[in-house]
Amino acid sequence: MDKIPLMGFTRGIFEIFVPGVFLLLNFYFALYMTPYTSETLKNLSSNINEIILALIIFSFSYLLGVILRILRATWADKLSGYFLSLTHIKNKSNLSYTDNFPYEKYNRIYYKETFNPDKLYNDTNQDRSEIINFFQSKWIIVNNSLSFNLIKMMLICEDEIAAKEIYAAESLSRYISSMLYCLLISVFILLLVLVIDIVYFDIGKKDLFIGLGPVFVMYLFGILAILHNFRIIRRKEVDTVFALAFKYRERLFSSKGSGSAPRNGNDKQEPT
């Protein structure tokens, strides 16, 4: 479940390479903003072969992307929940902000209200009742990351279309969490450069703020936007797996089929 996506797949590009390139550019920008290292960078870039430079950029981008990927989406999810609780003081104890992934306590209330047969038309009562019964009898065991990942793996082995749906939802969460960590690290680096330039190199504050001010504003806006929406995106990932588990409930949870071999087991990708 924790396998790093391969670079050949789209998941590897968006989850690893893109955040890695972005972070590497911020490191370069930070070094370029200091008088001593900026001259060194200019000399290196002018004397090094373009192909070798491209290989260095590719290698370090992938390395940084892998490091960001290792940080896990759980921390970003908790940061998002904490941020939402601060911005909604009156409802800061709301389970949608405080419950841990995969939000078993919150979903008990959410699914019961969403699929309540008494609030729906008669022709859908039976289907909605089945969803409620499935959640209360089967899905209730999915109360931690380990059991959630197990259900994902079973679904991926069960059906190729289900695997694609899970990969799409999962990749979006991992990409956004990696970009959040990337932005937080970049803001810290740029603040450090700002202090160093002012204290040690006596560079004018006005010039630095003109150069770095717009960058800080964009990065802070990106951080706030991710914190405000990441838990919603993460919940949609859970909803996707829940919907697929309900669709294939007879294969996944029936005692008769529990020992049968998974279908489409030749899929080489694994969930993260």
Q: Domain residues for 24?
A: 10-102+142-253
- Does the residue 263 lie in any domain? no
DSSP code for 266: T
- Does the residue 77 lie in any domain? yes
- Does the residue 213 lie in any domain? yes
- Does the residue 1 lie in any domain? no
User: Do 94 and 180 reside in the same domain of the chain?
Assistant: yes
- Does the residue 3 lie in any domain? no
User: Do 116 and 208 reside in the same domain of the chain?
Assistant: no
Give me the pLDDT at residue 213, please: 77
The number of distinct structural domains making up the chain is 2
User: Do 171 and 206 reside in the same domain of the chain?
Assistant: yes
* Nearest C-alpha neighbor of 211 from the set 41, 34, 46: 34
Burial class (CB in 10 A: 0-12, 13-18, 19+), 32: middle
User: Do 85 and 19 reside in the same domain of the chain?
Assistant: yes
User: Do 75 and 187 reside in the same domain of the chain?
Assistant: yes
User: Do 153 and 190 reside in the same domain of the chain?
Assistant: yes
CA 59 to CA 17: how far, in whole Å? 10
User: Do 109 and 182 reside in the same domain of the chain?
Assistant: no
- Does the residue 215 lie in any domain? yes
User: Do 112 and 186 reside in the same domain of the chain?
Assistant: no
User: Do 52 and 122 reside in the same domain of the chain?
Assistant: no
- Does the residue 5 lie in any domain? no
Sequential pLDDT tens for the chain (272 residues): 445 454 445 666 778 888 999 999 888 888 777 766 666 666 666 667 778 878 888 888 889 988 988 888 889 999 998 898 888 765 656 777 888 888 888 887 877 777 665 554 444 455 667 777 777 777 877 778 888 888 888 888 888 888 888 888 888 899 999 999 999 999 998 888 877 777 766 655 566 666 677 888 899 999 999 999 999 899 899 888 888 888 888 877 765 544 443 444 444 444 44
pTM of the model: 0.76
Give me the pLDDT at residue 243, please: 86
